[in-house]
Amino acid sequence: MEVDIPIPAPLDLNAGFLRLWTQHEQALRALVRSCVPRTCEVDEIMQSVSVVAWQKFSMLNEHAKFGAWVAMIARYEILMARRRFARERLVLDEDIVAKLAEEGAEELPLRHRQLEALDGCVAKLPVERRTLALAAYSPGASMKDLAAQLGRTEGSLYQLIARIRQELCVCVEKTLAEGEAIG
């Protein structure tokens, strides 16, 4: 439900805009994100929307309709961005694609060794930590739900996962270094 925020004087126009923008920004960002695949594009569009909305804010007569009004601006900015991104799409030269594929193929043995080391390091974790790490990174996992199941706060769960991730990183690096020393 939108509430009309009174804007008494032209001097308060900027403050009124900021109050309304802050009130609607999260929902607006969700709208833009649902229409645009990449985060960098979402940020760019949101910036354009905020500039256009601020420039035209003095023309808005009913501040209670700010949400719908700014959503309309967002729709136009999304359409313009889609056209712009479509024109700017880079098509890589076949030689570059071949070089990238070659380099990727050269890295496959290293990636394979890294995955084997990670599997070994995960297996070395204590059962509770291993179960938690696997649950946290399973498809569709929600840290909020996992924290609730464990009776922990999300913040403490994120910290614990970060410590487990750090342990795994050190273990993988050590395992790879030992493999190079042997090989």
Count of structural domains within the chain: 2
d(CA 129, CA 148): 17
d(CA 10, CA 110): 63
- Domain membership of residue 66 (yes or no) is yes
Same domain for 49 and 82: yes
Residue linked to tokens 């790879």:
176
Residue 140 is predicted with a pLDDT of 85
Residue 131 is predicted with a pLDDT of 92
Residue 84 is predicted with a pLDDT of 77
Q: What beta strand segments (E) does the chain contain?
A: none
Q: How far, CA to CA in Å, does 32 sit from each of 27, 131, 135, 170?
A: 9, 36, 30, 39
Which residue has better confidence, 151 or 139? 151
Residue 130 confidence class, pLDDT cut points 50, 70, 90: very high
Residue linked to tokens 């030689």:
95
Residue 89 confidence class, pLDDT cut points 50, 70, 90: low
Same domain for 127 and 53: no
* 3-class secondary structure, 9: coil
Amino acid of residue 131:
T
Same domain for 175 and 101: yes
Residue 179 confidence class, pLDDT cut points 50, 70, 90: confident
Question: What is the average per-residue pLDDT within 127-132?
Answer: 93
Tokens of 11: 């001097």
Same domain for 82 and 15: yes
% of the chain exceeding 70 in pLDDT: 81
Contact 113, 119 (CB under 8 A): no
- Domain membership of residue 2 (yes or no) is no
The enclosing domain of 28 has a CATH number of 1.10.1740
User: Is residue 89 packed enough to be buried (19+ CB in 10 Å), middle (13-18) or exposed (0-12)?
Assistant: exposed
- Domain membership of residue 64 (yes or no) is yes
* 27-84 pLDDT per residue, tens: 888 888 877 777 788 899 999 999 999 999 988 888 888 888 888 898 888 888 877 7
Same domain for 16 and 83: yes
d(CA 28, CA 69): 11
Tokens of 74: 């967002």
Same domain for 40 and 110: no
What range does the domain containing 147 cover? 94-182
Q: Indicate yes or no: pTM above 0.75.
A: no
Q: In sequence order, which residues have a C-beta less than 8 Å from that of residue 124 and are 6 or more positions away?
A: 171
